[in-house]
Chain A
Amino acid sequence: EPEVTQTPSHQVTQMGQEVILRCVPISNHLYFYWYRQILGQKVEFLVSFYNNEISEKSEIFDDQFSVERPDGSNFTLKIRSTKLEDSAMYFCASSQGQGGEKLFFGSGTQLSVL
């Protein structure tokens, strides 16, 4: 079965540094998402992306966050100046159609901000 690939699986960074989390969605998918899960808490929606632009974003997704689809295969999440509270597991997801019918999730990137 096709899968969403995320790299790296673990990322450690210093507070204030920029990080880029990378995702390769499934090739024929059109809708892309980032979610995050702080340890012990629920999985939270960050942003959705379609047709090369953000279609929806949550309150969490402030000016420190940005997303990009720099080429035909990658989908990245950038955090410009990381804070301690950004430490979480970040999940990328993609789907062929809308309606959340079937999101395929990657295995996540564990971000630790020190």
Chain B
Amino acid sequence: AQSVTQLGSHVSVSEGALVLLRCNYSSSVPPYLFWYVQYPNQGLQLLLKYTTGATLVKGINGFEAEFKKSETSFHLTKPSAHMSDAAEYFCAVSDQDDKIIFGKGTRLHILP
């Protein structure tokens, strides 16, 4: 069975600082990995995904994530935080078959 663990339900960073949101996964088969973002009162929006190939994937709004099989991790980063990045971020895994399994989410707060 697949699962996702997101470390830290809340993360605060200063505007302009590095954003690092941690995600570890468990999967018995090569996984598809995703990061979704949820802005207040909105639905889930795909930030980026890893399926196969290059392990460093770039997404929208300057975010990127690196698939590290040896660490079973897929951490999300952004070099310089912006106020508009404040949102809830969900890491997710799929076993290439059908459904996506989500982590509990990390709420990102941006400090002025």
Contacts and interface: CB of A to CB of B under 8 A. Distances in A.
A42 B43 contact: no
Contact of A107 (B43, B49, B102, B104): B43
B102 A100 contact: no
Contacts of A31: 98
Nearest to A57: B99
Contact of A45 (B45, B51, B100): B100
Contacts of A45: 99-102
B100 A100 contact: yes
Contacts of B105: 42-43
B49 A42 contact: no
Nearest to B34: A100
A15 B44 CA distance: 28
Given A43-B90, A55-B98, A106 B43 contact: yes
A18 interface: no
Interface in B37-68: 41-46, 49, 51
B72 to A, nearest CB: 18
Listed residue (A33, A103, A108) with the most chain B CB atoms within 10 angstroms of its CB: A103
A99 B104 contact: no
Contacts of B71: none
A4 B42 CA distance: 12
Contacts of B46: 102-103
Interface in B63-112: 90, 92, 94, 96-105
Contact of A100 (B43, B94, B103, B104): B94
Given A91-B44, A99-B94, A44 B102 contact: yes
A41 interface: yes
Given A41-B104, A56-B98, A101 B51 contact: yes
B97 A99 contact: yes
A105 interface: yes
In order of increasing CB-CB distance, the 6 nearest A-B pairs are: A100-B94, A107-B43, A43-B102, A42-B104, A105-B44, A100-B100
